[in-house]
Amino acid sequence: MAGESGKTKYYLLMEQLKDDILSGRVKPGEKLPSENELSSTYQISRHTVRKALAILENEGFVVAEHGRGTFCSERMRHRKNSRNIAVITTYISDYIFPRLIQGIDRVLTSNGYSIILKNTGNSRTNEARALEDILTKDIDGLIIEPSKSQILCNNMNLYAMLDEYEIPYIFIQGTYAQMKHKPHILMDDSQGGYLLTKHLLDTGREKIAGVFKADDSQGRERHKGYVRALQEAGKLYDPDMVVWFHTEDRKKKPALAIRQMMEYGMDMDSVVCYNDQIALEVMKTLQKCGRRIPEDIAVAGYDNSLIAENGIVPLTTIAHPQEKLGEMAAELLLEQIQKIPEEKSKVERLIQPELIVRASTKPQI
pLDDT digits over 258-305, tens only? Answer: 999 999 999 999 999 999 999 999 999 999 999 999 999 999 999 999
Are 240 and 271 members of one domain? yes
Q: What are the E-state strand segments in 48-123? A: 62-65, 69-72, 84-89, 114-119
Provide the domain count of the chain. Answer: 3
- pLDDT band for 1, please (50, 70, 90 cuts): very low
pLDDT at 45 over 90: yes
Whole-model pTM: value is 0.81
Are 162 and 231 members of one domain? no
Are 223 and 194 members of one domain? yes
Domain boundary residue among 21, 44, 76? 76
CA distances from 349 to 174, 177, 217 (A): 12, 17, 16
Q: Would residue 21 count as lying in a domain? A: yes
Q: Would residue 57 count as lying in a domain? A: yes
Q: How many CA atoms lie within 13 A of 91 on its CB side?
A: 9
Are 213 and 250 members of one domain? yes
Range of the domain at 316: 189-320+354-361
CATH label of the domain that carries residue 53: 1.10.10.10
Are 132 and 30 members of one domain? no
- 243 in Cβ contact with 281 (< 8 Å): no
Are 209 and 296 members of one domain? yes
Are 231 and 271 members of one domain? yes
Q: Would residue 2 count as lying in a domain? A: no
- 235 in Cβ contact with 172 (< 8 Å): no
pLDDT > 90 in the chain, percent = 81
- Give backbone dihedrals phi and psi of 192, rounded to 5 degrees, phi first: -65, -45
Of all helices (H) and strands (E), which one includes residue 209? strand 208-213
How many contiguous H segments (helices) and E segments (strands) does the chain have? 12, 14
Are 40 and 96 members of one domain? no
CA distances from 124 to 115, 144, 152, 318 (A): 21, 12, 10, 27
Domain boundary residue among 55, 76, 97? 76
Q: Give the whole-angstrom CA distance, residue 157 versus residue 265.
A: 49
Q: Give the whole-angstrom CA distance, residue 123 versus residue 91.
A: 10
pLDDT at 349 over 70: yes
Q: Would residue 4 count as lying in a domain? A: no
Peptide bond into 98 cis (omega under 30): no
> What's the pLDDT at 6?
57
Report the mean per-residue pLDDT for the chain. Answer: 92
Q: For residue 21, give the 3-state DSSP assignment.
A: helix
Domain boundary residue among 24, 53, 76? 76
pLDDT at 317 over 90: yes
Most confident of the following: 21-35, 53-67, 168-182: 168-182
Span 131-146, pLDDT tens digits: 999 988 889 999 999 9
Top pLDDT among 1 and 308 is at 308
Residue 142 pairs with which residues in a beta bridge?
86, 169
Strands 62-65 and 69-72: antiparallel
| Cα angle: 271, vertex 355, 213; to 5 degrees | 45
Are 313 and 249 members of one domain? yes
Q: Would residue 1 count as lying in a domain? A: no
Span 184-236, pLDDT tens digits: 999 999 999 999 999 999 999 999 999 999 999 999 999 999 999 999 999 99
Span 330-340, pLDDT tens digits: 999 999 999 99
Span 73-128, pLDDT tens digits: 887 776 667 899 999 999 887 677 889 999 999 999 999 999 999 999 999 999 99
> What's the pLDDT at 4?
47
CATH label of the domain that carries residue 194: 3.40.50.2300
Are 345 and 312 members of one domain? no
Q: Give the whole-angstrom CA distance, residue 267 versus residue 286.
A: 13
- 250 in Cβ contact with 213 (< 8 Å): yes
Q: Would residue 100 count as lying in a domain? A: yes
